[in-house]
């Protein structure tokens, strides 16, 4: 039996088709559990990505919002664990770092003090390290890719 459209058949034919389709789907799931599992996983993944991008209000970039690295690290959806609110798209390394310090600004400050004391070399400001310039260049490349892909 081929696929039907409800508008093209009588109610009785539609009921027979629905029952046949239900049995066919049940049999297919039993005979092809691995295919079904892969299809369901792919559908869940697509839904999760759409949901993340919708709640973020922007598509997933190729640049980390925190450190500016692009391409070489996986970009993940970062959120506040208390409020579940989206914070930004960051690389996996930055995400792990935030997790290890329990999203605490105070813990990060203490780590900076520790590094300064142990290295006997004060940590330079982000501007002196030129993080902002590197991040701006990466953001420009990301925007150029988006425009090229759209047009």
pTM of the model: 0.52
Judge whether 36 lies within some domain: no
Q: What is the CATH number of the domain that holds 102?
A: 3.40.1800.10
- pLDDT value at 148 more than 90: no
Question: Is the CB of residue 73 less than 8 Å from the CB of residue 89?
Answer: no
Distances, alpha carbon 77 to alpha carbons 38, 67, 94, 128, in Å: 23, 14, 11, 28
Judge whether 129 lies within some domain: yes
Q: How many folded domains does the chain comprise?
A: 1
Q: What is the pLDDT of residues 62-106, one digit of tens each?
A: 899 998 888 677 899 898 888 888 899 999 999 999 999 998 999
Question: Is the CB of residue 98 less than 8 Å from the CB of residue 92?
Answer: no
Q: What is the pLDDT of residues 109-141, one digit of tens each?
A: 999 888 888 877 555 555 544 545 555 666 667
What's the Rg (C-alpha) of the chain?
25
Judge whether 97 lies within some domain: yes
Question: Is the CB of residue 74 less than 8 Å from the CB of residue 91?
Answer: yes
Judge whether 83 lies within some domain: yes
The parent domain of residue 141 ranges over 59-150
Judge whether 91 lies within some domain: yes
Judge whether 51 lies within some domain: no
Judge whether 53 lies within some domain: no
Judge whether 128 lies within some domain: yes
CA distance 96 to 116: 22
């Amino acid at each position: 039996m081929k696929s039907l459209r409800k508008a093209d058949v009588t109610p009785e034919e539609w009921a027979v088709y629905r029952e046949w389709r239900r049995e066919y789907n049940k049999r297919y799931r039993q005979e092809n559990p691995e295919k079904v599992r892969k299809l369901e996983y792919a559908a869940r993944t697509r839904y999760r990505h759409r949901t993340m991008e919708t709640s973020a209000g922007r598509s997933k970039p190729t640049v980390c919002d925190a450190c500016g690295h692009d391409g070489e690290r996986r970009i993940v959806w970062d959120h506040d664990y208390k409020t579940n609110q989206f914070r930004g798209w960051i690389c996996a390394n930055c995400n792990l770092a935030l997790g290890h310090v329990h999203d605490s600004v105070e813990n990060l400050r203490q780590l900076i003090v520790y590094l300064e004391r142990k290295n006997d070399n004060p940590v330079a400001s982000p501007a002196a390290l030129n993080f902002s310039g590197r991040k701006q260049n990466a953001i420009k490349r990301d925007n150029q890719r988006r425009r090229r892909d759209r047009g």
